[in-house]
Amino acid sequence: MNYLFTSESVSEGHPDKVADQISDALLDEFLAYDPNSKVACETLVTTGQVVLAGEVKSNAYVDLMEVTRRVIHRIGYNKSSYKFDADSCGIFSAIHEQSADINRGVERADAMEQGAGDQGMMFGYACNETDNYMPLSLDLSHLLLIELAAIRREASAMTYLRKGRVTSYLRPDSKSQVTIEYNEKNEPVRVHTIVISTQHDEFVTPVDGSKEAQEAADREMLQTIYNDVKTVLLPRVIAQLPQRVQALFDDKLVLLVNPTGKFVIGGPHGDTGLTGRKIIVDTYGGKGGHGGGAFSGKDPSKVDRSAAYAARHIAKNLVAAGVSDEVLVQVSYAIGVAEPVSIYVNTYGKSHVSMSDAEIARRVSEIFDMRPRAIEERLKLRNPIYEETAAYGHMGRKPQTVVKTFTSHYNAEPVVREVELFTWEKLDYVDAVKKAFGLD
């Protein structure tokens, strides 16, 4: 019997993601000027306010308010009508120095013996449903919102006429949800349901002040948004997909757009946002497992982040090498201890090698050094690479090299860094995995 599986995503303008992006932008700023910075930065955003809190140990001086306003402006909160905008929001900082009790467990005379920054378990997952080895439901959820943000910035589609000028009615806050139908062989057979909720301007004016006139205006706005999602957004997303995924869309698709009927009040004015509240959106959309630790605002000495990236790197290379069609990797640590407490692998009965999952896990521990410092060096994590991770998922993204420039009135010269983004998505261990598992 066929079954359904659902994942969701949220846009860069979602209040929780605004908080994540601010936290990671601050982390990048510290790492750009002092790669040895220890950072655990949390952000809260609400109507007209930003609160920064956390612990930092660094030789760098960072203008926290300048960085915060830059991120908010980039996202698109730059109008007073949003009740949260980059130029006028209040910013309160309660960031203080990192606990010496934690720091003593992390730093070591021998850098490779650096202890884990905390206890806990982290998961990595990969499957062969998509070209980037991610669950299809989550991959489509992200793509819908990435394209919706592009349409918002282009301001040439999904628009209305305002004072003689064509204007985008889209606002930064949005959510998506995709349901995939699977057959009994766990293969996706069709896209069953898509839900899009997007914040928008109040772009239809009621003819009078009556309740009936307002409801008619709301219905007209909803119909316009529904039609644009169906005829503009979906075709643009589908055109980007490989043919085998395009074939999963049919005329039975259930499309729900702004199901409440109206979404004008949104962003941090509509809901308070906090760093670390979208951990399933950030990872695998409900597939695999999650240890509970968030990523954003944490430097790579925190294994919540670095070991989760390393576990994804392992899982993706195992699937790409042909070890299994689907892989879950768990790694666990004790605070202050370099070697992981355990490494666990689950191939869901889809392995292509004649060995148990326990044996696969043992081989994995021989191929991949999972000490925190080794992970940092292998994946080049002591670089300012994190702001880009803080929206549309940390996993399944395209590895690339970029040049980033950091300027500050605390420093006379700008810092220019060439960095690699999403190194944990590289398939650079496929050959080593094939050799270790006899798959040459």
Distance CA 254, CA 285 (A): 20
Average pLDDT of span 94-109: 67
- Name the nearest CA neighbour of 120 among 307, 300, 282: 307
Annotated binding site for ATP: 14, 173-175, 262-263, 271, 277-278, 294, 298
| Average pLDDT, rounded, for the chain | 94
Which residues make Cβ contacts (< 8 Å) with residue 141, sequence separation at least 6? 7, 8, 9, 176, 177, 178, 285
Q: What is the pLDDT of residues 294-329, one digit of tens each?
A: 999 999 999 999 999 999 999 999 999 999 999 999
Q: Three-state SS for 314?
A: helix
**Pick the residue with more confidence: 401 or 99?**
401
Distance CA 169, CA 315 (A): 41
Distance CA 39, CA 31 (A): 9
Full DSSP string of 85-143: -TTT-EEEEEEEEPPHHHHHHH--SSGGGPPBSS-EEEEEEEESSSTTSS-HHHHHHHH
Which residues make Cβ contacts (< 8 Å) with residue 107, sequence separation at least 6? 114
Average pLDDT of span 268-283: 97
Q: Three-state SS for 201?
A: coil
Instruction: Write the CATH number of the domain with boundaries 120-127+288-293+301-436.
Output: 3.30.300.10
Full DSSP string of 239-260: TTS-HHHHTT--TT-EEEESTT
Residue 104 has pLDDT above 60, yes or no: no
Distances (CA, A) of 408 to 152, 293, 437: 30, 31, 50
Q: Three-state SS for 435?
A: helix
Residue 118 has pLDDT above 90, yes or no: no
Give residue 107's pLDDT: 62
Give residue 106's pLDDT: 63
Distances (CA, A) of 1 to 6, 185, 192: 17, 10, 15
Around Cβ 400, how many Cβ atoms within 10 Å?
A: 12
Distance CA 313, CA 307 (A): 10
Give residue 163's pLDDT: 75
Distance CA 158, CA 166 (A): 10
Q: Three-state SS for 231?
A: helix
Average pLDDT of span 110-122: 80
CA dihedral 407, 408, 411, 417 (to 10 degrees): -30
Q: What is the pLDDT of residues 218-237, one digit of tens each?
A: 999 999 999 999 999 999 99
Q: What percent of the chain has pLDDT over 70?
A: 97
- Name the nearest CA neighbour of 143 among 426, 386, 397, 315: 397
Strand order across the beta sheet in which 170-182 lies: 3-10, 170-182, 188-200, 254-257
Q: Which residues share a beta bridge with 222?
A: none
Which residues make Cβ contacts (< 8 Å) with residue 229, sequence separation at least 6? 196, 198, 255, 257
Residue 22 has pLDDT above 80, yes or no: yes
Distance CA 414, CA 150 (A): 29
Global pTM value: 0.95
Annotated binding site for Mg(2+): 16
Q: What is the pLDDT of residues 376-399, one digit of tens each?
A: 999 999 999 999 999 999 999 999
Distance CA 216, CA 71 (A): 37
Per-residue pLDDT band for 99 (boundaries 50, 70, 90) equals: low
Instruction: Write the CATH number of the domain with boundaries 3-8+137-266.
Output: 3.30.300.10
Residue 212 has pLDDT above 70, yes or no: yes
Annotated binding site: 14, 16, 42, 55, 98, 173-175, 262-263, 271, 277-278, 294, 298, 302
Residue 165 has pLDDT above 90, yes or no: no
Distance CA 224, CA 258 (A): 11
Distance CA 172, CA 151 (A): 11
Which residues make Cβ contacts (< 8 Å) with residue 278, sequence separation at least 6? 10, 14, 16, 17, 20
49-57 vs 90-97, strand pairing mode: parallel
Annotated binding site for K(+): 42
Give residue 280's pLDDT: 98
Annotated binding site for L-methionine: 55, 98, 271, 302
Q: What percent of the chain has pLDDT over 90?
A: 90
Give residue 115's pLDDT: 78
Q: What is the pLDDT of residues 48-60, one digit of tens each?
A: 999 999 999 999 9
Distance CA 39, CA 23 (A): 10
Distance CA 398, CA 132 (A): 8
Amino acid present at 354? S
CA dihedral 256, 262, 265, 271 (to 10 degrees): -40
Distances (CA, A) of 28 to 24, 188, 297, 411, 422: 6, 38, 9, 16, 14
Give residue 101's pLDDT: 56
Q: What is the pLDDT of residues 130-139, one digit of tens each?
A: 999 999 999 9
Give residue 12's pLDDT: 98
Residue 102 has pLDDT above 80, yes or no: no
Is 3-8+137-266's fold the same as 120-127+288-293+301-436's?
Answer: yes
Which residues make Cβ contacts (< 8 Å) with residue 109, sequence separation at least 6? none
Start-end of H helices in 37-90: 64-75
Boundaries of every domain in the chain:
3-8+137-266, 120-127+288-293+301-436
Per-residue pLDDT band for 114 (boundaries 50, 70, 90) equals: confident
Give residue 342's pLDDT: 97
- Structure tokens given for 375: 């992970």
Q: What is the pLDDT of residues 320-368, one digit of tens each?
A: 999 999 999 999 999 989 999 999 999 999 999 999 999 999 999 999 9
